[in-house]
């Protein structure tokens, strides 16, 4: 079995999911300069190379996060990853994702989710997803992929000082 922090490149019909690198800075800034893609993560605007590099390095070193690259444009259009679980369950990884708003409603998120969930058993036994009230995209994803709501959890997001209650869902990915 692979180590839990090892990045493996994945490929779909239209996408490549790969590790982040420094040349992705401008695409990263474009993704997270939009309020719609950063607010669910509790992030302030990421509009400088130094801010973007901080997150790219974090994705590379600490987490199992992929740059979602659109093959036809050779452009990073999003991020998807399996992060530390909010309840710190060792056999559970939390699913996080963001797609550049310009590429919403084109099936890219579903395509990248299919690839991640198909391979998640290599990293973990369970995948969790959380969403705050009003985050209908994450709620829809949890329901579409048959995640089971287990509880509500207090989650601290980004630079916020107070935690917020989010629905906590889990999917068994063992084969």
3-state SS string for 85-140: CCCCCCCEEEEEEEECHHHCCCCHHHHHHHHHHHHHHHCCCEEEEEEECCCHHHHH
Residue 20 to residue 7: CA distance in whole angstroms: 10
Structure tokens at 160: 């916020």
Q: Is 3 among the domain residues?
A: no
Provide the whole-model pTM: 0.85
Number of independent structural domains in the chain: 1
Structure confidence at residue 83 (pLDDT): 86
Instruction: For residue 61, name the pLDDT band (cuts at 50, 70, 90).
Output: confident
Say which residue, 104 or 42, is predicted with more confidence. Answer: 104
42 falls within a domain: yes
Percent of residues, the chain, with pLDDT higher than 70: 82
The values of phi and psi at residue 81, to 5°, are -160, 165
Cβ atoms within 10 Å, residue 160? 12
Q: 73's torsion region: left (phi>0), alpha (psi -120 to 50) or beta?
A: alpha
Average pLDDT of 22-29?
93
Query: Is 91 a domain residue?
Result: yes
> What's the domain range around 18?
10-172
């Amino acid at each position: 079995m692979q180590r839990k922090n090892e990045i493996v490149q994945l490929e779909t019909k239209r996408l490549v999911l790969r590790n982040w690198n420094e040349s992705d800075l401008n695409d990263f800034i474009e993704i997270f300069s939009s309020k719609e893609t950063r607010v669910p993560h509790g992030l302030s605007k990421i509009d400088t190379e130094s801010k973007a590099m901080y997150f790219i390095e974090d994705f590379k070193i600490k987490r199992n996060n992929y740059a979602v690259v659109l093959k036809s444009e050779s452009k990073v259009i999003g991020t998807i990853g399996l992060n530390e679980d909010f309840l710190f369950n060792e056999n559970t990884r939390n699913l996080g994702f963001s797609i550049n708003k310009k590429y919403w409603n084109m099936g890219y998120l579903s395509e990248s989710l299919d690839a991640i969930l198909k391979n998640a058993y290599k990293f973990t036994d369970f995948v969790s997803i959380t969403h705050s009230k009003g985050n209908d995209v994450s709620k829809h994803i949890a329901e579409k992929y048959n995640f089971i709501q287990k509880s509500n959890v207090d989650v601290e997001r980004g630079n916020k000082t107070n935690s917020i209650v989010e629905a906590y869902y889990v999917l068994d990915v063992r084969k």
